[in-house]
Chain A
């Protein structure tokens, strides 16, 4: 299958996502420049991490105006699978492809470290290989990952089972010290109502090879690869 990895000026995890898709999982991948207007036949689109356009205004606020985002929106509306990682998640929020907003980390500091995540939903194309409640250890690296949704939206997200991953302790229990950024309801990842668009703050591409100290991120890529194979 064919991955499309969007490159905004300021993206810096684009090569990492590309490396995971191709060298680790043996799939095809294509970089999609932000000024491009079509997806070059991509069957799954990744918006990678980084600081698109420098993120001087508000994370993702400029990137949503890049020409490629029209194509990504059309693709998502047709049911195509889209994964936003870190800055990619922030861009999906700004573009209105996912609901809610990001605030600065509660610590007011950038945090790069491994966190524990509990898989809440397995009926998305990016978590279908997981068992419900499975615990993953995957790194984060962000300064604005404090997910916020007002109470009514939060209720809707929970009612619709749109919370895909939550920050927990190593046993899967939600606890304040294990929430690295202060996200409401310990949310690390959500999906849209149709469940084909997923945004996540942790970086699965950083946890796909034993040399890097963990392979729990493989589940995300294995899910999409097998989901597409079935389709």
Chain B
């Protein structure tokens, strides 16, 4: 409670009457549907209470009735700014349970897509921080680039926002020539636009004055509140699942983990900026060293066979029937798998009793856990700082409510 004591005197010295303000649930500045009931004294926030659950869709319950391959579309709708990471995290969880051997090429393809998704996620967050400080220009530039990332998703899976990308065991098809062409041009064009955005805000006096010291959190409190991902790293702790528990061959790559010092809005912004550069580095490495091999693992009982084989071969017909009817046998087991999502450690806790659906599936949604710290972070700050803190935390309603 160090922040409360820090600002206690300041709050007590304010003599005005307290006013109650509903910040949300449907307010443009919340960037999602969640409510904060703020008690304000003039412009200073005295206390706040959060209400959530406005878009709760009972995903954990739904998952208990769906076959494994039908759970992927549910994961899309958690953090919908970087749905490929959620999809692939789920695929890797199931692969861990069935102990499938995944070809190196699949790992590298996944890394390219996941890092593109991380860039898209951070682009939205950072450009929206810009918008909330009043700098709308950068947002319009970066949305053009995000559009190109969505086109890349489209080349791989046909969808843009809720991607349902890949399959358990790999991808449904290899990267198309058009994907290669678009990725190459993205890797050349994107850094130019991104540098322009960086020049617009990173060392901008007005932007720095507006964001430095806004919504800070110390490293100790951040760990207490379960912070992960860029928000934790902005507070100065270099915890990253990609390095701590490497998955999908992240150990093959050379990249840096940026950390901040103050844990304030400016540090969160800068950490995300640097992570975008590091993601580009990873994509370059993965794309230049893309191994030869198959784009899918050899697990016929989970991976839908090609349609021609279904008509002419008995095994393919059997597997096709079993997968479509959702009668695939899964070993009994219990796994936890974590990936580094756009907001940090995104975990899947899966219990299988051998049935056609999970016995229990729990998502570790980073937003849900660290959003608890929000009242402590904004107490004693001004109302407009609360807006900025919220957008720099990148709280995504879909991930918050599940």
Asked if chains A and B come from one complex, the reply is no
